Amino acid sequence: MKRPYVRLQLPDKRSVGLYPGDLISRGPTAALHIPDARVSEAHAMISFRNNKLWMLGLRGRIAEDGRHPSPEIELRPGLTIKLGPALRVYVESVVIPRKVLAMRIGARTVALQSRIYSITTEPQLEVVPNNQPDASAQVWCAEGLWFFHPRGAPAVELAAGQTVEVDGVHIIEQSPEGIEETRFDGRDPLMERERGLQLTLNGDLVTIQGGERPLDIAGKPAEVIVELAAYNDIPVHWQLIARAIWKDTEDKALLQGRWSQATRVIRLRLEEHGVRPDLVSKKGKGNWQLVLTPNDQLIDNG
């Protein structure tokens, strides 16, 4: 089962296939590595949105040949895209499959668009589009094929109709129409890490600046961030934080439900405002962490 992808012809006549979320960079770890000074370390990214593939300019400038630079370009066969002075790539083909694989978790459906997903089970079942070493299982793509890799067991190829052995995650097919845009669409996570975030803590109000736009988080979700910040970038078990916030809640199931709701609100607010999604991260075995980079600034007015 294929994912949406675009095939580009490079100046040296090589042909390269790229998928949603793939980065174009002069860095050696990028999906499309172009070792050229005209290409930045996070030049552009492939995105899938509204049933179309796009190239998004990140730190580099991109333009349809003969036109002014644009922040995004819809990818169409036969298009020539300028990445820099006298540096162009040619769109050979664009493939949007009629059906794509997806994971159904309860009422939620996650289309498989990123290259890797981690399935975690604590404090609740979740699927996140990154590599978490302590995850219960991982789902990843190689050469257009999808594999399910439970921790401590061999990887197996996925197909529609399967139910994998992680709390009943179902593998289904669905139309790509209506699939949400690529997770990092429109922003450059590498640049965001370089410039850093500013977090201002005011008791039950946290203000975050440095994303696409300023973000205020209030109430219990803000208290979660404040409590995590007190541990100085060290992972801590969710129950320790939750019991400090909901002091009158003794029932573990009720406490876990309140924690899950608060962290879900945090993740949604971060995503809505273009703040890097790993700022508040689950680290396995029930541990959570406020992940700060050397360029982040924490101001505690509590």
CA atoms within 13 A on the CB side of 192: 23
pLDDT tens-digit readout, 258-274: 998 899 888 888 877 77
Q: Is the pTM of this model over 0.75?
A: no
The whole-angstrom separation of Cα 290 and Cα 237 is: 12
> Closest Cα partner for 235 from 156, 132, 146?
132
Share of the chain above pLDDT 70, in %: 82
| Among 102-111, 126-135, 217-226, 271-280, the range of highest mean pLDDT | 217-226
The whole-angstrom separation of Cα 105 and Cα 162 is: 13
pLDDT tens-digit readout, 164-213: 666 656 665 555 444 433 333 334 444 444 457 889 998 789 999 886 67
Of the pLDDT bands very low, low, confident and very high (cuts 50, 70, 90), residue 241 is very high
pLDDT tens-digit readout, 113-148: 666 788 887 777 777 777 777 788 888 876 567 788
Of the pLDDT bands very low, low, confident and very high (cuts 50, 70, 90), residue 156 is confident
Of the pLDDT bands very low, low, confident and very high (cuts 50, 70, 90), residue 237 is very high
